[in-house]
């Protein structure tokens, strides 16, 4: 017997091919809706730490594209986990897996607000984002942020920030402000 998940999830892979648009570089890999199929997929793909720089994995509820423009994302934002370079070797994969398990387990009062998870593999430091649907829904955003921080055993003095996608899109320079912190 397979153990069903609350939602069906789709894994995407992004690779930067300059001859294609950003959207065209998002490739759908596979979908799953039970725990066993999640593990066979997870065990089959390269861990994030072994991907090339400039690539992403995105795991979104089926039907939501892993981009700001999707109707489910356009009013939303992300809880951002910024890792430093040395964390790729020992912490990135564990963080990403723990976040995925929280998200697909829908272990939140406001699990409906979660759209997906993205990991960006970048030279300047890898990032994991947990995308939620409505940046104005402060109750949901904060509940999700607090729970993630607790589940991932992030030290209380480490600040986790939430960025509204609109601010990320319009940002000038390399930093965009946090609308919430936990």
| Contact residues: ligand M7G, CB under 6 A | 22, 67-69, 120, 122
Which residue lies nearer to ligand M7G by CB, 149 or 165?
165
Q: Which residue has the tokens 């986990």?
A: 81
Which residue lies nearer to ligand M7G by CB, 42 or 68?
68
Which residue lies nearer to ligand M7G by CB, 37 or 103?
103
What is the dihedral sign for C-alpha 32, 35, 36, 40? positive
- Residue 35 CB, shortest distance to ligand M7G, in Å, is 28
Beta pairing, strands 180-181 & 127-132: unpaired
Kindly report each contact of residues 22-30 with a partner whose C-beta sits within 8 Å and lies 24 or more positions away, as own/partner: 22/67, 23/67, 26/58, 26/65, 26/66, 26/67
- CA 64 from chain centre, in angstroms, equals 13
Question: Distance between CA atoms of 133 and 2, rounded to whole angstroms?
Answer: 29
Which residue lies nearer to ligand M7G by CB, 68 or 180?
68
Q: Which residue is nearest to ligand M7G (CB)?
A: 67
Which residue lies nearer to ligand M7G by CB, 68 or 178?
68
Phi, psi of 145 (to 5 degrees): -60, -45
- What would the two tokens of residue 36 be? 């066993």
């Amino acid at each position: 017997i397979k153990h069903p998940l609350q939602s069906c999830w789709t894994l995407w892979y992004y690779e930067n091919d300059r001859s294609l648009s950003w959207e065209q570089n998002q490739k759908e890999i596979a979908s799953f809706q039970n725990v066993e199929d999640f593990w066979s997929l997870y065990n089959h793909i390269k861990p994030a730490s072994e991907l090339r720089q400039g690539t992403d994995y995105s795991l979104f509820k089926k039907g939501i594209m892993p981009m700001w423009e999707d109707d489910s994302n356009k009013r939303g934002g992300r809880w951002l986990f910024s890792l430093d370079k040395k964390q790729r070797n020992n912490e990135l994969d564990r963080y990403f897996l723990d976040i995925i398990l929280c998200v697909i387990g829908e272990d939140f009062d406001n699990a409906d607000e979660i759209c997906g998870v993205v990991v960006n593999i970048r030279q300047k430091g890898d990032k994991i984002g947990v995308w939620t649907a409505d940046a104005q829904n402060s109750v949901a955003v904060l509940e999700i942020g607090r729970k993630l921080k607790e589940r991932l055993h992030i030290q209380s003095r480490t600040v986790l920030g939430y960025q509204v996608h609109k601010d990320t899109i319009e940002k000038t320079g390399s930093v965009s402000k946090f609308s919430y912190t936990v």
